[in-house]
Chains A and B, each alone.
Chain A
Amino acid sequence: MNQTAIRMEGLGKRYRIGERERYLALRDVLARTLSAPLRWMNGAKGKYGAKGNRHARTEEYFWSLQDVSLEIGEGETVGIIGRNGAGKTTLLKILARVTRPTAGHAEVRGRIGSLLEVGTGFHPELTGRENIFLNGAILGMRRREIAARFDEMVEFSGVERFLDTPLKHYSSGMQLRLAFSVAAHLEPEVLLVDEVLAVGDAQFQKKCLGKMKDEAAAGRTGVVVSHQLNQVRRLCERVVWLDGGRVRMSGPTAAVVSAYESAMLEDSAGQPARANERARFLGWKVRGDGSAPSCEVNTLEAQELQFSVQVFAAAQQVNLGIALRAADGELAWAWEARELAFERGRHELRFRFPMLPLRPGVYSWMIGLWDAQSCLDLWYAAPAMVVSLPNHQHPLEEWNGLVNVPCEFSVARHS
């Protein structure tokens, strides 16, 4: 039975900006009210219009979210991506009930757990143990739930030794781990996560992602806001792209994320050369023999990789470096070319491979041009390259390496 866990209809959020001061003082309100008749008599006009006069005041409004209608089913993990200021956090805040929408409505089925920040409510004077209870309670857990999962939380965070020390003596890394371990053991039906997975060291992030995937597997619904597209790819089946407060695209992860990356790229590609810019990589694509160009490798056919670069000033004796890294940063392949020459203008750099037999996953290209003076451009290519070949290696994942090359096997008897 797959019910809708979250239904949003025409959600909108409007903020008032402009003349409204951030903090109001009662004395100002009183002064304004008392002097209103005076100002009216003087027929207040001038540079700021009738500042304080209700009728003539022009307040500016800013719609941070407009007409957002989405349905998220039970057990789905949906990612929300978009530029800064697109309204992602506002949407999450509305779902978390921290702020109320200006228009539209939403329905959420189940207990809502919001992870908009790690360590919400942590108090530096209290010990780690006390803060676990406090944080858990603030996040919505009952006392007996916290007590039941207490040991698990402590173990996950790894701060067992310091459990009875005041939090202010913890390092920021320890505080983070403690905060996340409490949040990770929150078991709501709907979990809202805002960029919190972006913090912490790589090893801990891996642990957190693993825990989140377990939650998803257990049938919990998740809404994840993140700028880290790799994480979004790993966690989410569906992605919603918010742009300027509206839903620009919504669909399967791969499609939406690629579209987003391409759009981001186009923005930077179209810009004129900046002050010291000598070259700029514009884009890349890969094409298998007999396929259309894309960012995906899905056959063992020969592949042609192509990078476009715009050179603003001619250069000689240029060296090229290129590297391919797997999702966890492991280096898969690298190469260099020396003593190239470039005229001004646009160039295509082509690399032809007999095949790219890589373990299925997400990979990132890095390419750079240098000459004796400086680096012309170094580019961490986006979008990432997706390899979706069938597995030609050992059936067990722990025995899968980067080189996903098929082999022909036979046994011959030695007589």
Chain B
Amino acid sequence: MAETAIPLVAERAAAAGPAVTRITPPGTWLDLNLAEAWAHRELLYFFVWRDIKVRYKQTAIGAGWAVLQPVLTMAVFTLFFGRLARIPSDGMPYPVFFLAAILPWTYFANALAGATSAVVENQRIITKVYFPRVLLPAAPAVSGLVDFGIGLVLLAGLMAFYGIAPGPGALLLPVFLLLAVLTALGAGLWLAALNAVYRDVRYAIPFLIQLWMLASPVAYPSTLVPEQWRWLYGLNPMAGVIEGFRWSLTGQGQPPGALLAVSGMAVLLMLLGGLAYFQRMESTVADVV
């Protein structure tokens, strides 16, 4: 019985033949082809690999930058915000408080900056070869995780120094990490698409990141915001991400609550909106870039 079944299956597979691609003008409705993007996932790996390799080639310190940047920032902020301005730090030492937040923040900021210029920088390959363009802003969101990983090691060292052990919330770290990635991706898609069409967007990026950081609980805790406005504060997707990170990494700080819920919704909306807008831009990108 089995012998007759197997050739039949093989026949059917052979009859299906090679994949047929249909090439049509851009439609008016949404055309999310995530299956195709997934099929090209190896290319994403190559873009990430390329970005990381190129970043560290011919540099003096190489991966050391991933440590130096957060350490120096932490030192400066600890001095001015922690000591001099005496900003409250949720009951933990300010350096830990700050570092646990600056790590996901730096990841987000770098992913954002990378995504904005992703499409324009790769203009040569976009106009010559087809691949799902969504991989381009996705690459910085993935390559940033490497620096983040290095920073985590640094944080572990710092926490050991202060004798702080992570609580049970540490198990939720992958969830918060995923949330951070989705936020970076969502914002990145918007900016990548906008920059491909309106070239002056990238000049606004450093400014945008600065403002966004001040609006996020990086240097100060979210408890600084009065209770009744905290939900509004949560519309900033990074607010929930950062507080969540801090809580899960250090076991102290604000446990997930309404803030995280609102932030989570904001992330989802931003991501879906970003995918839609990027999709619309994608069909004409090779003509305008």
Out of A15, A24, A125, name the residue touching B199 (CB < 8 Å). Answer: A24
Q: Is A143 an interface residue (CB 8 A)?
A: yes
Q: Is A117 an interface residue (CB 8 A)?
A: yes
Contact B58 A105 (CB under 8 A): no
Bound form: Cα–Cα A140–B36 in Å: 12
Bound form: Cα–Cα A26–B126 in Å: 22
Whole-angstrom distance between the Cβ of A119 and the nearest chain B Cβ: 9
Tell me whether A138 and B46 are in contact in the complex, defined as CB-CB below 8 angstroms, given that A25-B199, A97-B130 are known contacts: yes
Chain A: interface residue count, which band?
Answer: 35 or more
Q: Is B129 an interface residue (CB 8 A)?
A: yes
Contact B129 A111 (CB under 8 A): no
Q: Which residue of A lies closest to B125 (CB)?
A: A121
Contact A27 B23 (CB under 8 A): no
Interface segment among B14-22, B86-94, B242-250, B256-264: the answer is B14-22
Contact B197 A105 (CB under 8 A): no
CB contacts under 8 Å to A, within B114-155, are: 124-131
Out of B26, B43, B200, name the residue touching A26 (CB < 8 Å). Answer: B200
Q: Is A351 an interface residue (CB 8 A)?
A: no
Q: Is A99 an interface residue (CB 8 A)?
A: yes
Contact A96 B17 (CB under 8 A): no
**B interface residues, tally (CB under 8 Å):** 36
Q: Is A341 an interface residue (CB 8 A)?
A: no
Tell me whether A100 and B21 are in contact in the complex, defined as CB-CB below 8 angstroms, given that A137-B46, A139-B129 are known contacts: no
Q: Is A29 an interface residue (CB 8 A)?
A: yes
Bound form: Cα–Cα A166–B17 in Å: 41
Contact B198 A24 (CB under 8 A): yes
Bound form: Cα–Cα A112–B36 in Å: 14
Q: Mark A1-40, 1 if CB is under 8 A from B, else 0.
A: 0010000000000010000000111110100000000000
CB contacts under 8 Å to B, within A105-133, are: 105-112, 114, 116-117, 120-121, 123, 125-126, 130, 133
Report chain A residues within 8 Å CB of B283. Answer: 100
Q: Total A-B residue pairs with C-beta atoms closer than 8 Å?
A: 113
Q: Is A400 an interface residue (CB 8 A)?
A: no
Contact A109 B286 (CB under 8 A): no
Q: Is B287 an interface residue (CB 8 A)?
A: yes
Contact B130 A98 (CB under 8 A): yes
Whole-angstrom distance between the Cβ of B22 and the nearest chain A Cβ: 6
Q: Mark B273-288, 1 if CB is under 8 A from A, else 0.
A: 0000000000110110
Tell me whether A99 and B287 are in contact in the complex, defined as CB-CB below 8 angstroms, given that A24-B199, A134-B50, A142-B42 are known contacts: yes
Q: Is A94 an interface residue (CB 8 A)?
A: yes
Report chain A residues within 8 Å CB of B50. Answer: 123, 126, 134
Interface-central residue, B42, B46, B128, by most chain A CB under 10 Å: B128
Q: Is A357 an interface residue (CB 8 A)?
A: no
Q: Is B226 an interface residue (CB 8 A)?
A: no
Report chain B residues within 8 Å CB of A215. Answer: none
Contact B25 A102 (CB under 8 A): yes
Report chain B residues within 8 Å CB of A15. Answer: 287
Whole-angstrom distance between the Cβ of A259 and the nearest chain B Cβ: 29
Bound form: Cα–Cα A250–B125 in Å: 31
Contact A107 B128 (CB under 8 A): no
Contact A117 B17 (CB under 8 A): no
Bound form: Cα–Cα A23–B200 in Å: 9
Q: Mark B6-33, 1 if CB is under 8 A from A, else 0.
A: 0000000000011111111110000000
Whole-angstrom distance between the Cβ of B281 and the nearest chain A Cβ: 12
Q: Is B83 an interface residue (CB 8 A)?
A: no
Report chain B residues within 8 Å CB of A139. Answer: 129
Q: Which 10 A-B pairs have the closest CB atoms?
A: A97-B130, A26-B198, A110-B18, A137-B46, A106-B23, A25-B200, A99-B286, A116-B128, A23-B199, A105-B24
Residues of B within 8 A of A (CB): 17-26, 42-43, 46, 50, 53-54, 57-58, 124-131, 194, 197-201, 283-284, 286-287
Query: What would 6 A/B residue contacts be, using CB atoms closer than 8 Å?
Result: A25-B198, A96-B130, A97-B23, A106-B22, A107-B23, A110-B18
